[in-house]
Amino acid sequence: MEFTDKPHSLPPIFDQESLLHRITNRIRRSLELNEISRATVDEIRELLGTDRVMVYQFDADGSGEVIAESLLSRNLPSLLGLHFPADDIPQEARQMFLWARQRTIVDVSTGKIGLSLLNSPDQSQTLLGENIYYRSVDQCHIKYLQAMGVQSSLVIPIVLSDLQEPSKQQKLWGLLVSHHSQPRHISVQELKLVQQIIDQVGISIAQSLLLAATRAQQHREAVINHINNLLHKQPKIQLQAALEATIKALGGIGGRLYLENSKELYTYGAQPNLPKELNNYLIEQHPMWITWMAESKPDHVWAISDLYKETKLPILAFAFQSTTIRGLLVIPLHYRQRFIGVISIFRPEWDTEILWAGRCEQNQRQKLPQLSFEVWRELRKGQAPQWSAAEIALGKSLASDFAVAIQQLHTHQQLELLNLDLECRVQEQTAELEKSFLITKAIKQVTEQIRRSLDLSTTLQTIVSEVRFLLNSDRVLIYQLMGESNGEVIVEEVHGSWDSVLGMKMPSGCFPDEYARLFFRGRVRVINNVATDSLSDCHREFLQSLQVKSNLIVPINMSQQPWGLLIAHQCDAPRYWQEAEINLLQQLADQAAIAISQAQLYHKTCQAEAEAKAQATYLEKALFDLQDTQTKLIQHEKMSSLGQLVAGIAHEINNPINFIHGNLCHASDYTQQLLELINLYQKYHPQPHSQITQSLEDIDLDFLVEDLPKILASMQSGADRIRSIILSLRNFSRLDEAERKLVDIHEGINSTLLILQHRLKSHLYNSEIEVIKDYGDLPLVECYAGQMNQVFMNIFANAIDALEEYAAKHLDTPRIYVCTQISPDKSHVLIRIADNGPGMKLEVKNCIFDPFFTTKSVGKGTGLGLAISYQIVVKNHGGVMECVSEIDKGTEFWIEIPVKLKTKIETDLNPIRTTPQEL
């Protein structure tokens, strides 16, 4: 086929091989992709003499970018660095480029396209490229090229083979494109020569990619070797430095290394910010994270590109909102199937800018040709980066090295501890043998001294004298217990000028009954420093009044009950009592008990009458205690019945008190009018009848006039108080608000806490429960107010029950935390109620929402409270109710309900109410 302009002349045939050899040598001069591409476009543009030759590389999503370009003149604009959408090249054309190695030659002026197949479509034979088949080109393609200012074009595919595995399928890597602003004829010889050049270019690009892969592998191996050196550096491995190197190698901005065995945490760079209530709580120790790690298997990696879309992190994602962290690579560390820790790498979100060759609406693509190729900058903000397969493989390899190094460190530490323990045990056993010999000798001497006499006073004085000498303390005394909380110092031995405490009694309330029970069980009280140790104010002041800086108390138990206390005082300075001294005093107290028992047996005959009286007194007191207990049980039963009665008639009180309150103002007005009328009578009839005068004296009119308004005001105040109490009860129960409406959630919570205020205060055996509120700025919520108050009552009552049983032995300050917040999209409200109580086992936590399941004793709970609460939140309000609990770490309930109910939810539970006694 002939075109209008004169074709570009080629060298003679014998010179074409020389030209091809020269161009090939230049292309292969470098293995860098940019230099290969640059040399290719320069040589082919010079060969063809066209206005523009460019290399177009395909991206993974099908779009492409011009990575190299050579321009002859300014006839055509530069397209270097611009991206073209995937739809610009149909899929059918891509298949022909790959399968048949099809070349296309378009002449815009004649509307013809030349097609030349290098391979047959069925791969059964190879064409030599002698023939170019011409046909009419699609008008859309013509307009597309005209919009670019192109009159003739040549497109040759660049197809790559895998140099390491030649049998693998070839890949369409890109295109070589030649554009000319004038009609241009492409001859078969030109096409053949350019194809030979492109074949060499394909080989060079494949070699360049292989070189890049080799360099990347070498870099990964260098990183692995560097981190290995840090992990196995002697005498101590560098875990922190290895973590930093790992984070940098994987392109992170921060990361963490958590060791499960020692609970150690290494951090670097950006870190998540936990909520206030979890400031001392590691994310690796959160129940959600622990459950997540329990699902991990060796050689498993969680590559999370967008942590806000990860379903396994609905709660912990809050900790990352204040940071730029978006990607998360979590690598559990296992050593021989055993979980030993986890590495977390944090990657930030990215903002990307892509230069497009014109902007084309998606709904118009492939229907109309693109008419503008002006540069359009597309900004994409907050992109979630994807973790590549190479990065994941590198992470796995490094994780294996970390696991081995950590296990070696753990083994080394165990060996060191074992050696140290063996040395300490040898030293301790040697010291114990020496101390045992000295203690045995001292006890023998003291025993001989205190048994020389059976007189009680002489025996006791001998005990305190010998003990003070052995312990070298400032004062030793025996405090005899007289009753549950009474007693006095009956004998002492003082060294130096310290005050005598003989006959001293403990102030009332400073010696609780609980102390007596503990001493009876053999409890030793060690106070190393009176000023700093945990003591009651009364006890501290009492000891300071005795000039005591440190003391040691050992019980003297006789006849299955505490008889008294053997006490050593240090008055000049605080003293840290040694274990040997404590053991010595305990053994001497046992010997003292034996000596006292012998002395008491000696005086048994003369004390028979006194013991009988003491026994009678004891029985009388026991009877009194029994009667007192019976009275308390009856009173408790009455108060329980009265509480149920008051709950039933609270509504009935409301109407009468409203009647009284509404009429008191009228009664006050009427009374005031009557008093004014009496004043008028006194003013205009100063001389009443004698009978009236006598009646005025009898009723004391002046006092009545003065006192009657006060009585009415007092009645008004009392009525107001009763109305406020009923209003608080009605606000909690909301019996008249069964339908859904907009309510203040905080008001419902506060009303519930007001009802339970009597249980939150301190009692005889229970400390006051502190309630910490962290309220967010919540809108009015559409809900069933009475039912939600019932949920709050059930949860708060259960928390109080748990804290009352647990706090007495384990907590100084029992606490309940209440936190509310609105979701980021303003559609849901989150209510969190937590306590620092005993927590629950996993098998118990899994059953708490089951009907009739309860852990309380018979008569204290029905097992319906939390089951009803779950139905109210989930079924009646379309919300979520979850429980997070761990033994000795408390329990937390999560309640999430929508701000506005989407549809009216019908329920069979309408509304079921329970009292705190039923929970």
**pLDDT above 70 covers what percent of the chain?**
83
Which pLDDT belongs to residue 106?
93
Specify the pLDDT at position 735.
44
pLDDT of residue 53: 94
Whether cis (ω within 30° of 0) applies to the bond prior to 235 is: yes
Q: What is the mean pLDDT of residues 415-439?
A: 80
| pLDDT of residue 631 exceeding 50 | no
Please choose, from the candidates 493, 491, 496, the residue with its C-alpha nearest in 3D space to the C-alpha of residue 467.
493
Cα 653 to chain center, whole Å?
A: 48
Average pLDDT along the chain:
80
Are 872 and 790 spatial neighbours (Cβ–Cβ below 8 Å)?
yes
Residue 852 is classified by DSSP as: T
628 pLDDT above the threshold of 50: no
> Residue 302 — very low, low, confident or very high, per pLDDT cuts 50/70/90?
confident
pLDDT tens-digit series, residues 480-502: 887 666 788 889 999 888 888 88
pLDDT at 644: 46
8-state DSSP, 281: -
Confidence class of residue 720 from pLDDT cuts 50, 70 and 90?
low
Q: Which residue has the higher pLDDT, 164 or 514?
A: 164
Q: Which residues contact 326 (CB under 8 A, 6 or more apart)?
A: 305, 306, 307, 308, 347, 348, 349, 382, 384, 385
Separation of alpha carbons 767 and 760, rounded Å: 9
Of 131 and 228, the one with more pLDDT: 228
* Residue 667: predicted pLDDT: 81
What is the pLDDT at residue 729?
A: 52
* Integer Cα distance of 656 and 717 in angstroms: 16
> Sheet holding 302-304: strands in order across?
264-269, 254-259, 338-348, 325-335, 302-304
Among the listed residues 198, 130, 134, the one whose alpha carbon sits nearest the alpha carbon of residue 160: 198
Mean pLDDT of 458-465: 83
Q: Virtual CA dihedral for 445, 450, 454, 455, nearest 10 degrees?
A: 150
In percent, how much of the chain has pLDDT > 90? Answer: 18
CB 376 within 8 A of CB 358: yes
Q: Kindly report, residue by residue over 365-376, the tens digit of the pLDDT.
A: 445 566 667 777
Question: Predicted confidence band at 11 (pLDDT cuts at 50, 70, 90)?
Answer: low
Q: If you average pLDDT over each of 405-409, 605-609, 665-669, which comes out highest? A: 405-409
Stretch 109-127: mean pLDDT, rounded? 72
At a CB cut-off of 8 Å and minimum separation 6, what does 684 contact? none
Token pair of 532 as six digits: 């700093």
* Confidence label for 124 from pLDDT (cuts 50, 70 and 90): very low
pLDDT tens column, 876-917: 899 999 999 999 889 999 999 999 987 654 444 344 333 333
Here the tokens at position 856 are 């309380």
Q: What is the rounded average pLDDT of the residues 316-338?
A: 87
20-51: pLDDT as tens digits:
888 888 888 888 889 999 999 999 999 999 99
**Contact between 270 and 348 (Cβ < 8 Å):** yes
Which pLDDT band holds residue 179 (cuts at 50, 70, 90)?
A: very high
Residue 153: predicted pLDDT:
94
pTM of the predicted protein model = 0.45
H/E stretch holding 305 = none
pLDDT at 734 exceeding the cut of 80? no
Distance CA 39, CA 28 (A): 9
Average pLDDT over residues 613-621: 78
pLDDT digits (tens, 9 = 90+) for 500-558: 888 888 777 676 666 666 766 777 888 888 888 888 888 888 888 888 889 888 888 87
Q: For 505-551, what is the HEC assignment?
A: ECCCCCCCHHHHHHHHCCCCEEECCCCCCCCCHHHHHHHHHCCCCEE
Q: In this predicted model, what pLDDT tens digit does every residue of 563-611 receive, in sequence order?
A: 888 889 989 889 888 887 888 888 888 877 887 777 777 777 666 667 7
Q: What is the mean pLDDT of residues 610-628?
A: 71
